[in-house]
Amino acid sequence: MKILGIETSCDDTSAAVLDGRDILSNVVSSQDDVHAEYGGIVPELAARSHLESIQPVIRKAMADANVEFGDLDCIAVTSGPGLVGSLLVGVSAAQGLALRSGKPLYGINHLEGHVLSPLVGDDAVDLETPFLALIVSGGHTALYLVREIGDYCEISSTRDDSAGEAFDKGAKMLGLGYPGGRVIDELAREGDVDYYRFPRARVRGDALALSFSGLKTSLWDFLRANPEVRVEDVCASFQEAIVDVLVKRVGQAMERLSIRRVVVAGGVSANSRLRNRMTEAAQSLGAQLVLPPMRLCTDNGAMIAGAAVLRRQRELEDWGLEAHSRMSLGPKLRLK
Ligand code: KG4
Ligand code: ZN
């Protein structure tokens, strides 16, 4: 089954071709340079930039895979959640291709792409259900119960900012450019995690809830009071506050649901400290931790094609093509 996957939900234009769960190509064109001078994503520039890149990116994905449009079984595209202007570029391109080639078109939920990302590619794992999934990205931070592929419940989510936003805003305050998660990760390796204790937020009455906006404010106040700090130490301490909370919530969710399998995916799952700390925590809990390989952590077309492959194998319907900014993965399940 050959599938072309297209992803334009945020600021990466990507297309990939999969043959079953094998990745034949995965092309990602980043817009980091476009948004860097603004210190964050400018939605209109993102959409314009997708328009420029979408055709060359799709052509390259097809050429790298050595596949013709006629060889495809279907086309998959992210239809939400994300920036509507960005999503519409990918959806329109996919519709044009589907019309021209007569191939079926599948709308895919971006979050499902992240959840299932470790199940495709050379290092694909076969993961038994049920499992937990922590999605940590620029747009989202939430914990899901995956009963089956295609059957998800949201068991917790951030009350305000995502973990990726905390990294990016933190990096902006430290003058480290955009996007800043990767830079903080690198600098933190030379820093002291115990240099300063930034707050680990808790939400009264909801032990699994997440919140990162207070942490941002606390970094701002700290930097104003301490202008002469060693940036590596601040990065390490700030990152530790984010990682601590994520590791703790995953442990709590495992205990409450008596599930010992977890996927941690999304852009922030590329963070080296998070990967190490989650690995240690999983070992001590006797749990199976599944992390996507680095190239599948941040947004990419392969995870979208992969989700479509896994859904088609189970004869599940697609998510529609409406390009919604908000799109949940499943109903909320609040644990006692
Ligand atoms: O999944 P993604 O590519 O896009 C969304 O769906 O939002 O995630 C992007 C986020 C950005 O906030 C970026 O700073 C963060 O992932 N990120 C990292 C690292 N690499 C990317 N955060 C921390 N450490 C990293 N190594
Ligand atoms: Zn994403």
Taking only the tens place, the pLDDT of each residue in 224-267 is 999 999 999 999 999 999 999 999 999 999 999 999 999 999 99
Taking only the tens place, the pLDDT of each residue in 101-157 is 999 999 999 999 999 999 999 999 999 999 999 999 999 999 999 999 999 999 999
CB 22, CB 121: distance < 8 Å: yes
167, 239, 291: residue to mutate for ligand 1 pocket, most atoms within 8 A of CB = 167
- Residue 335 is predicted with a pLDDT of 84
Render 89-112 in DSSP notation, one character per residue. HHHHHHHHHHHHH---EEEEEHHH
Amino acid at 18: L
Question: CA geometry: angle at 212 spanning 292 and 164, to 5°?
Answer: 35
Query: Does residue 327 have its Cβ closer than 6 Å to ligand 1?
Result: no
3-class DSSP state for residue 151?
strand
Instruction: For residue 299, report the phi and psi dihedrals to the nearest 5 degrees.
Output: -55, 135
- 181 Cα to the center of ligand 1, angstroms: 6
Tell me the C-alpha distance between 286 and 137, whole Å.
26
- 298 Cα to the center of ligand 2, angstroms: 6
Ligand at shortest distance from the CA of 140: 1
Sign of CA dihedral 226, 229, 235, 237: negative
Tell me the C-alpha distance between 232 and 212, whole Å.
20
Q: Which two three-digit tokens encode residue 149?
A: 């592929």
- Residue 135 is predicted with a pLDDT of 98
Block residue for tokens 């701002």: 220
CB 261, CB 288: distance < 8 Å: yes
Beta bridge partners of 198: none
Q: Which two three-digit tokens encode residue 272?
A: 């080296």
Tell me the C-alpha distance between 296 and 307, whole Å.
13
Q: Average pLDDT in the 282-306 region?
A: 98
The CA distances from residue 228 to 104, 183, 332, in Å, are: 58, 19, 45
Q: Compute the mean pLDDT over every residue in the chain, rounded to the nearest whole number.
A: 97
* b/e 107-123 (16+ beta carbons within 10 angstroms → b): bbbbbbbbbbbbbbbee
